[in-house]
Chain A
Amino acid sequence: MTAAPAFDLGAIQDRIQTEVQRAIQRSIKGVEYFASSGPTLGSTPKDTLNARGTLRLYHYRPLADEIYRVPILIVMATTNRGYILDMVPGQSFIEFLLKQGYDVYMLDWTAPTPEEKSLRMEDYVLDFIPDCIRRVQRDSGVQDVTVIGYCFGGVLSLLYASIFADGPLKNLICFTTPIDFRQMKLFSSFSDRRYFDVDRLVDSVGNMPPELILTSFEMLRPASRAAGQVQLWENIWNDEYVKSYRMFDRWANDTLPLAGEYFRQITKDLMWDNKLYNNTMTVGGRKADLGAIRVPILHAVAEHDHIVPYDAARHLIERIGSADKEEVVLKGGHVSLVAGANAIKRLWPKLDSWLGERST
């Protein structure tokens, strides 16, 4: 027979007092929350080297007295803004890289205009990325360039690396990059070719509206937004929690539209025909063979990624032709892999130790 748990009256009183204080704080901070604009994001000093339509090429000003020889070009996912990698001081991946002595450039995107609805994969892989690489080379005075691609930025980087296998890429780093699109099961279901008339959709709307993209992301975890708001209300007395919530919430809602033709190609070539996995992918008539990639490559994937599940990303490394290749599976989700407290202690130091040795 077990004894009934004894109630500690003092502890209960303390708890009630804490909760009353938090309730008062919630009311005060709740008003502040709606009255204030949230933290400023993406504020690491940078210069715009190129602004052409949807493309933005930034160079971040160095923060170290001595930097590695090889500059880094980060290729951001086309659905989201690059400031996820430059949140606030102390929680910025860019700032971390700069302080570790890297010379950092970023290929970021703005919303494609209605006139840019005809942009195709060819524009991104055969024009935008090579153009930015050339500008990085010219600006840094160094021929070698390391490319880091996040999510679909990783797919674009892989396509670039496989088509331009003769250089000037020095290292390739992919974060949560899918190659087996059948394994993105819900996206596959949403875009089932039997029911999803991508031609009709693109022909009628032009660019894919960001609301549609955001909704498809949110549908992967339909209860999480409501649960997140309950948690926000509970923790609204906690300034750090609120700051973090606002940063990530703002970024998640800041989804970009996708150029119509580009979306049509992604749907047909990758979602329907899984061409990257089947090694039949071509861009502008040029074959994108992952086996042709011979540069050192690191692929960082998240254990609990609901957008790019591990099964969608796990075949990447085995398809790459490089001798120097590594996959690292880290705790976290699609976003927490690269930003936030989890990234600071897991991905960032891992990347630094891997890349530092290959940046001289």
Chain B
Amino acid sequence: MATKGSDPLELWHTMLGEMEKGFNAFANQAMASPEFSRTMNQVGGVAAGAQKQFGDLMERYLVAMNLPSRAQLTAMGERLQAVEAQLHEIKALLQQVHHNSAASEQTVVAMPRPPRTRRPPSSAGDAS
């Protein structure tokens, strides 16, 4: 095997790691400055505004093309979520009803759960 010091791949990995650390440290230092914050927020604010305007324009374009917009698809998603939520509620109610009827008939419980009697291993050691 090539030794660690003479292995070009090992050297490459070390260099890559050091470059990553160095660049991250340099960038973090630069980003901590108020100038960076001001510039980033100016650009970010403009970008967010532009994104909103672009979104509005695109929505009008999609309406003209008779295509669903993102907002409409999201609304559809919400309705599906609401349906799912109601299904969960119904399922939970059904389970509760089933559980109650099973309990009243003294038959098997719907979802048997393990007993809550577990002790930590340390307490077993103490007891012995």
- Verify A205–B52 contact, CB threshold 8 A: yes
Chain-B contact segment, one of A78-86, A154-162, A171-179, A190-198: A190-198
- Are B16 and A15 in touch, CB under 8 angstroms? no
Given contacts A113-B81, A196-B37, A204-B52, contact A356 B28 (CB under 8 A): no
Interface size class of A (residues with CB under 8 A): 35 or more
B33 in the interface (beta carbon within 8 A)? yes
Cβ A52 vs Cβ B85 within 8 A: yes
Q: Please tell me which stretch of B60-68, B100-108, B111-119 contacts chain A, meaning at least 4 of its Cβ atoms lie within 8 angstroms of it.
A: B111-119
Partner of B28, one of A65, A67, A114, A186: A186
Q: A62-B113, A67-B113 are in contact. List 17 more A-B contacts (CB 8 A).
A: A11-B2, A50-B88, A51-B88, A66-B116, A67-B118, A69-B117, A69-B118, A103-B113, A113-B77, A185-B32, A190-B31, A194-B34, A195-B34, A195-B38, A195-B41, A353-B120, A360-B123
Q: Is the CB of B116 within 8 A of A192?
A: no
Query: Is A28 among interface residues, defined by CB-CB distance under 8 A?
Result: no
Interface presence of A223 (CB below 8 A): yes
Q: Contacts A14-B1, A223-B19, A223-B23: A68 and B118 contacting too (C-beta < 8 A)?
A: yes
CB-based contact A186/B114 at 8 Å: no
Chain B residue numbers with a CB within 8 Å of A230 are 16
Flag whether A101 is at the interface (Cβ < 8 A). yes
- Would A227 and B3 be within 8 Å (CB), given that A66-B118, A113-B78, A205-B48 are in contact? no
B contact residues, range: 35 or more
B4-47 with Cβ < 8 A to chain A: 5-7, 9, 16-17, 19-20, 23-24, 27-28, 31-34, 36-38, 40-42, 44-45
Asked if A200 CB lies within 8 Å of chain B CBs, one says yes
Interface string of B50-79 (1 = CB under 8 A from A): 011000000000000000000100100110
Q: How far is the CA of A18 from the CA of B58 in the complex (A)?
A: 53
Contacts of A51 in B (CB 8 A): 81, 84-85, 88
Q: Which residues of A contact B37 (CB under 8 A)?
A: 189-190, 192, 194-196
Instruction: Give the docked Cα–Cα distance between A49 and B121 (Å).
Output: 31
Instruction: Give complex CA distance A360, B117 in Å.
Output: 8
List chain B residues, Cβ under 8 A from A66: 114-118
Give A340-360 interface residues, CB cut-off 8 Å to B. Answer: 353, 356-357, 359-360
Give A153 Cβ to nearest chain B Cβ, in Å: 21
Q: Does B92 contact A (CB under 8 A)?
A: yes
| Assembled-state Cα–Cα distance A5/B48 (Å) | 59
Check B48 against A204 for contact (C-beta < 8 Å).
Answer: yes
Q: A65 vs B23: C-alpha distance in the bound complex, in angstroms?
A: 52
The distance in angstroms between the C-alpha atoms of A171 and B46, with both chains bound, is 46
B122 touches A356 (CB 8 A): yes
Task: Determine whether A20 belongs to the interface, using a CB cutoff of 8 Å to chain B.
Answer: no
User: Least Cβ distance of A326 to chain B in Å?
Assistant: 16
